Amino acid sequence: MDVDIIFKIAAIGVVVGVLHTLVSKAGKEEIGYLLAVVALVVVGFLVFDLVNSFFISIKTMFNL
């Protein structure tokens, strides 16, 4: 497993945190929450890809 995926998830978290704060200060809290949900979906897809590759490697290891 590469460490790059951890840095990508951390970078997404930092960017979304800053953008959520800026948008909330501007009075648009709904957009801030929507931004957080979109970031959660993006991170979910990244993690899903990792889990998928993990199961594929287990499948090939045990010849299933």
Whole-number pLDDT of residue 63: 85
Q: Compute the average pLDDT of residues 12-32.
A: 93
Q: Which residue has the higher pLDDT, 63 or 18?
A: 18
Helix 4-25, helix 29-61: angle, nearest 10: 170
Q: In the numeric block, which tokens belong to residue 62?
A: 């045990």
62 by DSSP, 3-state: which?
coil
Provide the pLDDT confidence category of residue 20 given band limits of 50, 70 and 90.
very high
Provide the residue ranges of all domains of the chain, joining segments of one domain with +: 4-61
pLDDT higher than 90, residue 2:
no
Q: In the numeric block, which tokens belong to residue 7?
A: 């840095």
* Gap between the Cα atoms of 24 and 35, Å rounded: 11
pLDDT higher than 70, residue 1:
no
